[in-house]
Structure 1
């Protein structure tokens, strides 16, 4: 399906979906300055599912925001599908995000007055692209919502609404999909269905997914997990299990707490 209809605007696939080179992000000035990201470099191949984890304040949300173009790094470079994310103004940056980046958030951000199908077609309309209704319907069928096309978001469960949000992202064929705690508002069963759907987006549609999560079970659905602490990447795990991720997070949290205690002393 990855090479079928709906791919005219997007984006020629490259072997490298995302690269961060020496990215730093600081807030404040002088004595009040806080370093949220500290010289972070990473490369993610296309067609992979990566989870990002770390203790509170580790920089994982800042990493996602800088990588996705929602915030500008203080220093360093971000490349998506081989193209540097630049822009002298917000209009240029918005255009770049619309062409290359997809988002899935904890809150579904569906328009309540639009039907399921209308919500999914919306990105095409906003980009002033020809709307391929058949392709949108095919994606909705693949996410299990073929019988809900004319329903409003309020008529759906939380899990179904998140599926609509995922379908809305998939129809644009972005170079990278960034998911910020996408299962945080869902019950366990719905969360697992959504995570399995993200796996399918990678394996069947060839998408690249970067997911920030605090949940070891959610992270276990990814191909690899990146661990952050104090704004730096401090570890990587491939073929993660929930148990192994939870153990690594426990040790990571203890180490961060110990460093902070030493700093206070």
Structure 2
């Protein structure tokens, strides 16, 4: 696994992080005192049975949802001390998101969709970086196309380009290959892997697919909102076997 990078500060940290929905007898603990550090320049997959807290983990780690107790950090920044305006700025400038649904603006071109985060942040685009991103995701010859003219895999490449354009500290993926066929999914996973290996990005990906998880350096397993175990240098077979021993499957 890649090193921790700048001054040894992890890219993502959770300290006794808990998230409870509802109150009283109807309260549901979706995340239960999770403590975890994810190094800079690494690829981490987050797995667990349905209802294990995977999506809650991602939403809280990325500042999309607040914790009930504990703390979450992006680098050295404590998210729990930030208001919504500050969180919005942090998400725009330091975090990239790739979801199962591509969330592209149909009226805009590939390049315009890719550049949206910079427009929202009122930052001037760097022409060389724009060309580099388009080349990296394999869309340099399709910059003027609209999403309706692209395949599903190409649309997800646009979403990844959009996530990369601000040079974020962390890219969070929520089932980024869930809507793709297996061949296209492998291409997208290889692209995310190259973001880590070639440019030192940090990728945190929620997935239910052992094959997808095998592209990561480390797999973190959740069960019933708790951190159950972790696996370094995963293979699809080892991940699938571990999944049969989590939570209600145990």
The TM-score normalised by the length of structure 1 is: 0.89
Match of 1:129 among 94, 107, 123: 123
Alignment of 1:64-143 (within 5 A): 64-86=58-80, 89-143=83-137
Q: CA deviation at 1:137?
A: 1.7
Q: CA deviation at 1:87?
A: 5.0
The TM-score normalised by the length of structure 2 is: 0.95
Match of 1:192 among 164, 186, 191: 186
Separation (CA, whole Å) in 2 of partners of 1:152 and 1:193:
21
Separation (CA, whole Å) in 1 of partners of 2:32 and 2:15:
11
| 2:153 maps to 1:156 | no
Q: CA deviation at 1:71?
A: 0.4
Runs (4 or more) in structure 1 with deviation over 3 Å come to: 12-15, 86-89
- CA deviations on 1:100-148 (whole Å, 9 max, x unpaired) are 2110000111111111111111111110111113311211111111110
- CA deviations on 1:205-231 (whole Å, 9 max, x unpaired) are 110000000000000000010000010
Q: Structure 1: any 5+ residue segments left out of the alignment?
A: 1-11, 259-265
Q: CA deviation at 1:14?
A: 5.4
- CA deviations on 1:143-172 (whole Å, 9 max, x unpaired) are 111110100011000000001110111111
Q: Alignment length, in residue pairs? A: 245
Match of 2:248 among 227, 234, 256: 256
Q: Which moved more, 1:53-62 or 1:12-21?
A: 12-21
Q: Structure 2: any 5+ residue segments left out of the alignment?
A: none
| 2:147 maps to 1:147 | no
Alignment of 1:216-231 (within 5 A): 216-231=210-225
Separation (CA, whole Å) in 2 of partners of 1:166 and 1:13:
24
Separation (CA, whole Å) in 1 of partners of 2:82 and 2:117:
23
RMSD value, Cα: 1.4
SS of 2:14's partner is: strand
SS of 1:251's partner is: coil
Structure 1 or 2, whichever has the larger Rg, is 1
SS of 1:204's partner is: helix
